[in-house]
Amino acid sequence: MHTPIRFRCSVQQLILSVRVPSARVIVASFLLAISFNSYLPFMSGAQVAGAQEQPSAATPIVEPANGPRVQYLDITAYYSPQPDQQYYVTGSYASDIALNGSGTHGADGTPVYPGMVAAPKTYAFGTKMYIKGIGTVAVHDRGGAIVKAGSGLQYDRLDIWMGYGDTGLQRALGWGRRVIEVTIYGIDPSIKEDVSFAGVVSAEVPVKRNVKPPMFPQDVWYLSHGAEVVKLQKTLDSLGYFSGAINGFYGEETKAAVYTFQKDHNLFTSDDELGAGHTGPATRLNLENAFTERKRSRLPTSQMGRGTQGDDVTKLQEILKNLGYAVKITGVFDDQTESALYKFQLDQHIVKSKNDSGAGYFGPRTVTALEKQYIASIVQNTTIAVVDVPSYLVQDLSLNESGDAVRQLQNELQKLNFLKIEPTGLYGTVTAHAVFKFQQSQGLVASIGDTGAQVFGPDTRARLNEIIAARFHTKQLIAARNPKPQDVSVTGTVAAVAVSKTSLLIEEGLMKGGDKTQTLALQKFLSKEGYLSKVDATGTFGNKTEMALVSFQKAHRIIFSLNDSGAGRVGPRTLALIQAFARLQSV
């Protein structure tokens, strides 16, 4: 019988907790306890903790004596991470899984399943209940932080397991933490469980409905990089929360700025809460609202022309100057202001000549155009640093081969202190011996007479690439904590992974039905590698492309079967290997 432990605590406390015997199970399933306040904008019918009209939660519920009973409960959600997810709460699978491990069963021995509930001991195993937004569920689990009211909580605490991998993570983040009315049925075999996650997904609806167009249509993740991060950094900068380099990388500095914003807007109270520093639904909505208010305070509100003086003129001049028009900040609507405004009107096709009505005057159409351009100047992309990917080894090698691939192998063996000579590009006896020593260190061979000894084959290559990947991830974390100016940059929109000129414009997470431009780039690559026919490079990610990608992944030991997690999808390891091959194709 296994009992999972769930804590809302610091990472350090959580790591310590899994060392005790009582914390051995469902340890990969960690709590995504997004602060209750972070979901206030989305809660329909839920009461704020402490409101006088709410029923008391002091009486524990074991089993209703006289039919169903309605009770307010404090409900959180959790999930279990899997390899090759598109995103992770802490930035990587390794750091997610390091928190807890892997879980399979609830405290009563029931295999975990989406919708399974963990409840305090006052709720008997098998207790049925109806949770709005989830459906009819049953209690099969316990948890150290799943306690009854009076233990620092006003209401009894429940925890719902949302699933594995990306799906479970999205559901858990979508649910967050909610205080809602729950109907308690007790133990009743005639009541069947019936779970739907439509209500969980609907947590995104207010963001999509209220923001036109949405500033951040999707969550922005820690350790991600690209156009959405640039937009986030510029927005935080405009609100006074971010003063670092606008480099398109969601590192520690950006995460800290997000958390400070969340704290100021009552979304979180502690950076120990999972979800703090993550740009999720409530944070995105609040960023939009805060930016809208900031925008209004910086935009001139009155119509004006030559001779006008005051704050509105100053605001107009500041915006025109930020948009690249030559104007001095004087607070007076003078000749230079009229000239700059006229040029802006020409660029926006508001007027065609100085003789047109409204030329050089800040009227209704010009006000609207200036507002749009001002918003664009904040959220558009800017020059960002190029972020490289690991240089993976992509060729099998053996004695007497030569070339750049051999030199790359020698460089890696030298870094690991297995090769004591300078790289020559020739796979001679010294290199073969270095490969053998590496193989021994990794348990791939025991003696020089073993099959594959001294040969840089698939197994040896896969293990060395794992070491390269781990080293690269460590460098990313260090860079996130110690950002430095880059001397190489690109301008404009970038893909999720921006690398050298030979890189393909493919983003992590590409899968069946994905973006046509990215799909076409992937298909052309797979065609060059011999996994897909040229006639099938159509830009549509269908079954043929999926199976071609699976073949590529199998050939390079990213997966071993079609049932493996990440099969047929461009995950982080697949993307890094594709980019490495792309460099070779360009030579």
More confident residue, 497 or 372: 372
Distance separating alpha carbons of residues 393 and 391, to the nearest angstrom: 7
Please check the confidence at residue 201 and state whether its pLDDT lies above 80: no
Structure confidence by residue, pLDDT tens digits, 267-276: 777 776 667 7
Every domain of the chain with CATH number 1.10.101.10 lies at 211-297, 304-362, 501-587
**How long a stretch of residues is the chain?**
587
Domain 211-297 belongs to what architecture? Answer: Orthogonal Bundle (1.10)
pLDDT above 70 as % of the chain: 71
pLDDT score, position 274: 60
Determine the topology of domain 11-203 in CATH. Barwin-like endoglucanases (2.40.40)
Structure confidence by residue, pLDDT tens digits, 221-263: 887 777 888 889 988 988 889 988 888 888 888 988 999 998 8
385 membership: H or E segment, kind and range: strand 384-385
41 cis-preceded (ω within 30 degrees of 0)? no
Distance separating alpha carbons of residues 298 and 316, to the nearest angstrom: 9
Contact, 461 vs 396, CB < 8 A?
A: yes
pLDDT score, position 360: 93
Give 501-587's CATH code, choosing from 3.40.50.620, 3.40.190.80, 1.10.3720.10, 1.10.101.10: 1.10.101.10
Residue 160 phi, psi (nearest 5): -110, 125
Q: In terms of Cα–Cα distance, which of 460, 470, 547, 564 is closest to 83?
A: 564
Structure confidence by residue, pLDDT tens digits, 335-374: 999 999 999 999 888 999 999 988 999 988 898 888 777 7
Please check the confidence at residue 173 and state whether its pLDDT lies above 80: no
377 membership: H or E segment, kind and range: helix 364-379
More confident residue, 584 or 377: 377
Collapsing DSSP states into helix, strand and coil, what is residue 362?
strand
Strands (E), 13-150: 30-31, 69-80, 117-118, 128-131, 135-141
pLDDT score, position 4: 39
pLDDT score, position 278: 87
Structure confidence by residue, pLDDT tens digits, 5-33: 343 333 333 323 333 333 323 333 333 43
Residue with tokens 């839920």: 46
Distance separating alpha carbons of residues 459 and 486, to the nearest angstrom: 36
Residue 129 buriedness (CB in 10 A; 0-12 / 13-18 / 19+):
buried
- The CATH number of the structural domain formed by 304-362 is 1.10.101.10
Distance separating alpha carbons of residues 478 and 91, to the nearest angstrom: 13
Tokens of 395: 């060729």
Please check the confidence at residue 203 and state whether its pLDDT lies above 80: no
More confident residue, 102 or 149: 149
Segment 58-70 shows an average pLDDT of 59
Contact, 80 vs 166, CB < 8 A?
A: no
pLDDT score, position 8: 35
pLDDT score, position 10: 32
385 pLDDT band, cuts 50/70/90, is very low
Q: How high does pLDDT run on average in the chain?
A: 74
The alpha carbon of residue 220 and the mean position of all alpha carbons in its chain are separated, in whole angstroms, by 5
Contact, 139 vs 125, CB < 8 A?
A: yes
Structure confidence by residue, pLDDT tens digits, 431-458: 999 999 999 888 889 999 999 999 998 8
Please check the confidence at residue 503 and state whether its pLDDT lies above 50: yes
pLDDT above 90 as % of the chain: 24
Q: Count how many Cα atoms sit within 13 Å of the Cα of residue 55 in the half-sphere of its side chain.
A: 12
Please check the confidence at residue 145 and state whether its pLDDT lies above 60: yes
Segment 498-503 shows an average pLDDT of 41
